[in-house]
Amino acid sequence: MRLDLVDVFGSAPMRGNPLGVVHGGDNLSDAAMLRLTQWLGFSETTFLLPPTDPGADYRVRIFYPAGELPFAGHPTLGSCHAWLAAGGAPAGDGVVVQQCGVGLVEVKQDGDRLAFAAPGFTRTGPLDDAERAEAIRIAGVDPEAVVEAVHVANGPQWQLLRLRSSEDVLAASPVAKAAPGTDIGLAGPVGEGGGADWELRAFFANQHGTLVEDPVTGSFNAGVALHLFGQGLADGSYVAAQGRKVGADGAVHCAVGDDGKVWIGGLCATIAGQADVPAFGG
């Protein structure tokens, strides 16, 4: 086996979300994959495997410390980056096709960034009153700052609290403990000159019930982008900042194409492992 350490969505190397990518782990059991993930301690670790779907270029299994995820965003970009660095070449022109728990996900090169096509929602709609109150309590936000509370699940069961401003997002003070499986995120618009268009924070509970703030979260950004574009709250493209409260400086580029596909992009950098990533078309 080989382990690559990849930084994803950073504005510069080691300013984004770290990812462990395992090559050659075909014979590992589910328990061994989970144990390695827990030992590494990153928010996710992925395992690159041969595809079983003829339409895919590779298959990935995505683990976080409490189990396996059908989809996650920064593991998608980081895994594609590592697969390309190891000599992978897509069958299609300019697009890599990843097989994971939600099916097939497209990844394309976007200048010096990689971008994945946001998968569809597995759950949408407003949070009910009890869910809204609990999300507000866990995230530690001012109830008066909440403009909207909705489900934006796409594998992880994200609940979005859209707040009045980036200042409200950064002022949130989440609780220390929550039920494992908790996925709550915040988004608020950034004022002029703030270096981004939206400020995001995302929290998940690990296997011990500790609430963890994720540095930069592709799946949450994908859910937020689908919601913002779908509701007319964003148009064309925007940049989301995330991670400022945990020492990161994430920059997530979100855009909607003429065909309606929403793309979530960012920089990837190999910190240890194969470093040269070949270009793969337009």
Which residue out of 44, 148, 167, 192 is catalytically annotated? Answer: 44
Q: Provide the token pair at 214.
A: 């994720």
| Dist CA 191 CA 170 (whole Å) | 13
C-alpha triplet 226, 219, 236: angle, nearest 5°: 35
Q: Is 44 a catalytic residue?
A: yes
Structure tokens at 274: 């194969």
* DSSP conformation letters of the chain: -EEEEEEESBSSTTSSEEEEEEES-TT--HHHHHHHHHHH-SS-EEEEE--SSTT-SEEEEEEETTEEES--HHHHHHHHHHHHHTT---SSSSEEEEEETTEEEEEEEETTEEEEEPPPPSB-SB--HHHHHHHHHHHT--GGGEEEEEE-BSSS--EEEEES-HHHHHH----SB--TT-EEEEEEEPPTTSSSSEEEEEEEE-TTSBEEEES--HHHHHHHHHHHHHTTSS-SEEEEEE-GGGT--EEEEEEE-TTS-EEEEE-EEEEES---------
The catalytic site residues sit at: 44
